[in-house]
Every structure is written in C-alpha cells, then in structure tokens.
Structure 1
C-alpha cells in the first residue's frame, strides 16, 4: 500500500533536483527513457518516505537513483533475453563535415555521447563510482554508502574505470583515422563492388540489423558484403554522419524516405562492426526526417 503523497514543498524540491538526477541516470544507463524511469522510481519511493527522516534530499535522491541504476545494469547483464531497446545503444546522429578544423567544435559536443559506449563496458559499480565522482563531484564517502562499500573501495572502483576511459582514443583522433575507411565502404557499396567491400571489412565483421521486428545478426566479410550489396540497391542518397561521435552514414530512398542509419566501428584500418537501424520510431527519436535538399 502506497504511503501519503509528498507535500507541495517537497514535490517542488524534487523537481529542482530532477534535471541533475536524469543526467546522472542517463550517464549510468545510456538511455534517456531508462533514465526517466529511474528518476520516476525515486519519486515513487519519496512518496512513501517520511520527509522528516530525510536530512539531505539531494543526497537521498542521488542514493536512490544510483541504486536503481546499478540494479538495472546488473539485470541487463544477467537477463537471458533483452528487449529491442536494450540491445541497441542510444544513438545520437549529427551531421559530419569534411574534417576541417572548424568542425572540431561540433565534434567535441559528441565526446559525451561516445563516452556512453565506453561506460557500457564497465562493471555497474565501477560505472556508478566514476559517473558520480568524476562527472558530478559526489564524495567517495557518499558513493561508498550507495554501493555498500568503504570510501577507499569506491575510490578504487572509480580509479579503475577512469583508467579504462582514459585509454580510449579521443573521438577527434578516431574520426580522422576511421572516416577514410567508412568513406571507402560507402563508395564500394554505392558501386556494388564486392571485392572493394571485402578489402574494407574485417574477416570476422559483424552486421547487426535492428528492426521493429527484432535483430538480425550476420557475421563474416563475404556474408556482410553480400547483404550490403543487396541493401544498397534501395539507396538513392547517402550522407556522412557522426553516430555517437564516430563516422557513420544516413540513407534515403529515391522518394526522400529515410531508410536508416549505419554506425561503423573501425579497428586496424578495417570495419569490425556495423549496426544498422531502420525502425521508423527509432529513427524519429534521432531527430531525422526527410532527405535534405
């Protein structure tokens, strides 16, 4: 049975914290929708709490949201099945210029987006410690209380996460190294050049096609090249894009209908992973519409 609703003053204080809480949860979970859900859960728990028992509302809410996020991340790792949204990282698509120095400011805005991909590789408690301390200046004593560990243990978790993040190449450098490979891939796909596609694809490349009906995964350069050749026949316009700060492509058909987004991961001069998205709702959430003039 739910307790009494928070009074108006407490509700107002919660709303003042909402933006910060959503930002914390977004960095933790990599999904705006999941972040909103985590903050809503904190609100529901607040409604069942005696306001007099909360000495520090901001700290209490951070603790609740942090624990909810850790539970969600642990659930993702242990759950045998995953929803469509869980399988696909949140993709933010931006226009990609020609790599001129003046484009670097635009690219810098995507650093935080690319960081989400790195954070997703961390253990849930490492991610929480790093996000809360390095991004939101939460003391290690408070972080330790959230995860049930000492302040020193929380500091160690954040340090390990920080080293992993720092070892990740800067998006600007990655873009300059990867863009020619993705451009060669795009040219080969447009020209239907099977051999050229094989040259830019890693032998063990993975193609994950995300659709409203589910995810189809193909592996191996030859299989992926054949699929890319078939799909390219429907494409009339293809434009460079930054997908979470990395080189990608947006494609339209001859009637100006948006067909999808392609995100590429490059390593050692070859594409090792391709993610394609063609679900209308997902594409709409990226702010993409009809073909540009």
Structure 2
C-alpha cells in the first residue's frame, strides 16, 4: 500500500479509535485488553485492501468484536491462568479509573453480572444493548444467524436482570444489621464492602452462623493450591471451613483485585498466605476465589 494511502487509512482509523476502545473495554472489562484488541484491529486493517471495505466503522466494529470474543473464550478456557495478570491495589475507598469510566455508562453492579455470562452472551449483550449493533452484524461475529444472536442477547439480558431483582429483595433483609446503603452498588462499592467486612469478622471469630448469613446458598469457593484447585459448593459446606478462613484472614489487608473486593493475608513474618477475591451480588457473596500457592503468589505484586 502506498505511504499516502496508509497515512490516510491511519487517520481514518484514529478517528474511530475512541469508540472502538470503548466497545472493547465494555466487552472485556479491562482497558489494557481493550487497547490490545484495538491495536490488533489496526494491524488487520493495515494488511487489508481499503477498496474492499464499504463501511469502515462497521468493519472495524466487527473485527474488534471478533478479537474480543476470542479473548473472552481464551480467558474462559484457562481460568486458572489469569492470576499472573491480576492488578492488585490497596482498597482505600477510591474507585479505580477503569471502573469509574465503565460505571458512568453501565454501572458497577453490571460489571459483576457480566462476569457470569458466557463469551457469546457477553458480546451479544454489550454490542446490542449498549451500542445498538444490529443482530445481523452480531450474528456474523458469532458465526450464527441473526435470530440466534437475538436469542443469545435475550438470554444474557435475563441473566443480567435476575441478580438485580434478587439483590433488591435481599437488601431489605440485610438492612437491619448492615450499614444503610440503598440497593446493590456493585463490584467494589459500599454494599460490597459491608458484606466483605461482615465475612471477615465472622471468619476471624469462627462464627458459622455469621458466615452462612453473608454467603449465597449456591456460593462457589475455589482454592488454588500447589496440588491443584479445590472446589467447594454451598454456603453450609463453605461455612464449615470457618477455621481455615480464620487462618487466611487473620491479618488481612483489604485490596481491589481487578476492581473486585479482596484481601491479602500475611503470616507473622510478613510472607503472603493467600489472596482472596469476592464476588458480591444482592448483599450475598456468590463466589470466593483464593490463591494459596506460594510460588504463584510470589509472582504477584501485592500491597504490603
């Protein structure tokens, strides 16, 4: 491609970059991943014939959508491999910049719910409901018909609404013993902090009833150990491990792990015992993920 043509194409691409990064960030939930996806889209565009592209904006949206979908599927295929890429910062009450930007348009609670969707559901929901991309175009990205894409988005929409409805009901029940916070404020908002603090207090005291009260009945616990991942299902089963939690949160430092509430626990000598991450929906903890593998913990940059 002649230099003049490439320069013109680059200018046209840069005009689209802010919108493309916004699309990718809302699909992937990460600014860094979004920037990578958009840069990959530019590389593909620079290797293409512009004469064959009738609608540059639509073409780029499709390409960024496909790249984001591949990234989501790769993330789902290797859930245990994501620890090395985690961003862990002290939880001082401030909202991370990425999270604040997303909250302006989709809300923090939605960020948590999006993590429960399959890659196809998440892409269809974000592209259609947030960006009004036609189902025909979404179907091409997913390799499905427009009707199938519409069904995928509808299924995602039902999943997104259900936790919110459950949260409204649970919030009223929790208000008697918790700080009065209206509704569910999301991944790392005040309501989540109240729930996590209640969990930590119950764990330190070995309070079985207190743990059950803040755990969703179908909560999932994943503990990543040197021997592999140990999965425990259900609030009662998890609460019986109160003594384990007491050791893991005895000297806990509250942190944000990719925007989600978490705690770093250290031994008396300062060595890290574990990193625990919480997913909170409707005043209940629905998922706990704990990394207790010393070798993998050593590779993370964790607050002191």
Give the shorter-chain TM-score range.
Answer: 0.5 to 0.7
After TM superposition, give the deviation of residue 250 of structure 1 in Å: 6.1
Q: 2:116 aligns to what SS in structure 1? A: coil
Q: 1:225 to 1:67 in 2, by over 3 A?
A: same
CA distance in 2, matches of 1:214, 1:13: 51
Are the equivalent residues in 2 in contact too, given 1:119–1:127 (CA < 8 A)?
Answer: yes
Q: Give unmatched runs, 5+ long, in structure 2.
A: 95-99, 169-181
After superposition, the C-alpha distances for 1:242-289 in whole angstroms (9 at most, x for unaligned) are 7788765566788999987643346898655323468477556xxxx5
Equivalent in 127, 138, 142 of residue 137 of structure 2: 142
CA distance in 2, matches of 1:157, 1:45: 27
CA distance in 1, matches of 2:14, 2:227: 36
Q: Give unmatched runs, 5+ long, in structure 1.
A: 98-104
CA distance in 2, matches of 1:214, 1:283: 22
How does 1:183-262 map onto structure 2 within 5 Å? 183-190=197-204, 193-194=205-206, 196-197=207-208, 199-201=210-212, 206-209=220-223, 216-217=229-230, 219=232, 220-221=237-238, 224-233=241-250, 235=251, 238-239=253-254, 249=263, 262=276
**Residue 61 (structure 1) aligned with residue 60 (structure 2):** yes
Q: 1:49 aligns to what SS in structure 2? A: coil
Show the counterpart of 1:72: 71
Query: Which TM-score applies when normalising by structure 1?
Result: 0.66
CA distance in 1, matches of 2:268, 2:128: 49
Show the counterpart of 1:275: 289
CA distance in 2, matches of 1:238, 1:89: 16
Q: 1:263 aligns to what SS in structure 2? A: strand
After superposition, the C-alpha distances for 1:40-99 in whole angstroms (9 at most, x for unaligned) are 32122112101222222111111111122223334455x4x55521798888875449xx
Figure out how many residues of one structure are paired with residues of the other and give that number.
Answer: 268
CA distance in 1, matches of 2:220, 2:123: 30
How does 1:12-161 map onto structure 2 within 5 Å? 12-77=11-76, 79=77, 81-82=78-79, 84-85=81-82, 95-96=92-93, 112-161=107-156
Are the equivalent residues in 1 in contact too, given 2:203–2:211 (CA < 8 A)?
Answer: no
Are the equivalent residues in 1 in contact too, given 2:88–2:301 (CA < 8 A)?
Answer: no
CA distance in 2, matches of 1:4, 1:35: 29
CA distance in 1, matches of 2:92, 2:151: 38
Query: Which TM-score applies when normalising by structure 2?
Result: 0.64
After TM superposition, give the deviation of residue 187 of structure 1 in Å: 2.0
Q: 1:217 aligns to what SS in structure 2? A: strand
After TM superposition, give the deviation of residue 132 of structure 1 in Å: 1.0
Q: 1:269 to 1:7 in 2, by over 3 A?
A: closer
CA distance in 2, matches of 1:89, 1:229: 24
